Amino acid sequence: MATEDTGKEAAIPFEGKRRKVSSHPSQNEALIFEKSSPGKRAYRLPPLDVPEADPSALLGTSARQDPGMLPELSEIEIVRHFTRLSTWNYSIDLGMYPLGSCTMKYNPRVNEFVSRLEGIAEAHPYQPESLSQGALGILHLLERCLLEITGMDAITLQPAAGAHGEFTGILLARAYHQAQGDPRHRILIPDSAHGTNPATAALCGYEVENLRSNSLGMVDLAELEHLVTGDTAALMLTNPSTIGVFESEIHKIADILHAKGALLYMDGANMNALVGKTRPGDFGVDVMHLNLHKTFSTPHGGGGPGSGPVAAKKILEPFLPTPVVVEGPRGEDGRATLRLDYDRPRTIGRVRAFYGNFGMFVRALAYILANGPDGLRQTTEDAVLNANYLRSKLEDLYELPYKTPTLHEVVFSDRRQAQKGVRTGDIAKRLIDYGFHPYTTSFPIIVPGALMIEPTESESREELDLFIDAMRQIAREAQENPELVLTAPHSTRVSRLDEVAAARKPMLRYMPPDGAVGQ
């Protein structure tokens, strides 16, 4: 039986034959402020041999007169503290992230190597175009690759994330309708859509109208035909959908929209299931965004640098954000000089610094070129194979609300486990004890108690079998000993948190004991 060092009762043991992890060997670690002792130093330098500068001379009254309340520790204490903390982090280097809809695939190290090459890492966006041909060449080549992959005609790399890409794409649609002298006011959004879709539509000034899915989890064509009017600007469609189902009648969907002058916007979050197999531009999509982190292995933003390029058909090209990378005159060697074109009178304007998040472009292009057409297609096929392998191994224990063939992800429900009071969030917490990051819980909303699982192509059969074994054991625990699951996790330093209180009353700084000085 594994025990914790935090004063909790002994952790409940695993009941299965196999497990991926045990309790962490270093569970106890005080806050760095609590470890502090006055007078300790992590460095030793010789005395200054020049006059000490007066901060007030530079900063005036803005200069702080005391350093505030800072922790004081030795170097080895600092090193051990942060090393121990780092071992608590879960990462893609330790195991799979089965987060459905997020596509948390592995980021190859070669991408990072290329992004740090001399001349690329130090490129400055404001240096003259004559000195930026390499950087512009990266942008231009990535654009051509993405256009080939999507089957679209024009593209902008500026948007900084998927939601930002949605925003840009709907602005393009709005500009198009206004240019036609036919401003429209409504956007249709399926009930299985990502939550950012209705938020984007509303932010762009549109009324949002819900489109119900049919029994297969797809767009209901009769309902769509009924809802599309001359006031419909677009349908925002995720394909494959958030339940991992490909819209098999996508051509009919496009035809219904186009017959009324509406556009088909595709949320490209799930392109990891399509690359190399089919192209959105070929089945009627007018505008779409891509998530470079989901499909092309750049790091997930986490609030930092992401990238959500937007690809569009020819009718929307005049409205692209400025500037656009274009080819100039060709030199004696036959190579075109690249430049940034700002002379676009119908543009929606800039939505980001004109390069966008350049480091993400480098990584995505490295991934695309390293794989090539055959490798990208194989990646797609492996992602779909892995998801269906999980489906086949778990559908006897977890409810599968939609029997429609799935692609890159599978969505179960907690219906069977709920009979014992165990819900999707409880199963996810228990999964932590088995050494896996939880799957996506309670989404999409069209599946009550959803367990949304996406293994991506990154995972080996060995890792998938460990995950399957964990999920099967948890299903058995939910039937035989539901309390074990309801009180999970048991092997972590901190047990189940009050998530409502954490969201409403977060503690984001160290609160010193009464009487402590400094801020």
Q: How many residues does the chain have?
A: 519
Maximum Cα interatomic distance, the chain, rounded to a whole number of Å: 83
Predicted confidence at residue 17, as pLDDT, reads 52
pLDDT in tens, the chain (519 residues): 333 344 344 445 555 555 566 555 566 788 899 999 999 988 888 888 998 888 888 888 888 888 788 899 999 999 999 998 888 888 888 889 999 988 999 999 999 999 999 999 988 888 899 899 999 999 999 999 999 999 999 999 999 999 999 999 999 999 999 999 999 999 999 998 888 999 999 999 999 999 999 999 899 999 999 999 999 999 999 999 999 999 999 999 999 999 999 999 999 999 999 999 999 999 999 999 999 999 999 988 655 678 999 999 999 999 999 999 999 888 778 788 999 999 999 999 999 988 889 999 999 999 999 999 999 999 999 999 999 999 999 999 999 999 999 999 999 999 999 999 999 999 999 999 999 999 999 999 899 999 999 999 999 999 999 999 999 999 999 999 999 999 999 988 778 888 899 899 988 888 877 655 444
Instruction: Please answer whether residues 247 and 274 qualify as being in contact, where contact means their C-beta atoms are separated by less than 8 angstroms.
Output: no
Residues 296 and 248: their CA atoms lie apart, in Å, by 25
Angle at 186 between CA 181 and CA 189, to 5 degrees: 135
Q: CATH number of the domain at 110-368, out of 3.30.200.20, 3.40.640.10, 3.40.50.620, 3.90.230.10?
A: 3.40.640.10
Predicted confidence at residue 75, as pLDDT, reads 94
Predicted confidence at residue 87, as pLDDT, reads 83
Chain centroid to CA 192: how far?
18
Residues 430 and 502: their CA atoms lie apart, in Å, by 20
**Partners of 386 in the β-ladder:** none
Residues 322 and 348: their CA atoms lie apart, in Å, by 8
H/E stretch holding 232 reads strand 232-238
Predicted confidence at residue 2, as pLDDT, reads 38
Predicted confidence at residue 56, as pLDDT, reads 82
What does the domain layout of the chain look like in residue ranges? Answer: 110-368
CB crowding 394-419: b at 16 or more within 10 Å, else e: beebbbbbbebebbbbbbbbbebbbe
**Which residues have a Cβ under 8 Å from the Cβ of 479 and sit 6 or more positions away?**
417, 420
What are 77's two structure tokens?
Answer: 């204490």
Task: Round the CA-based radius of gyration of the chain to a whole number and report it.
Answer: 27
**Partners of 330 in the β-ladder:** 336
Provide the strand spans (E) within 182-301: 186-190, 207-211, 232-238, 263-268, 287-290
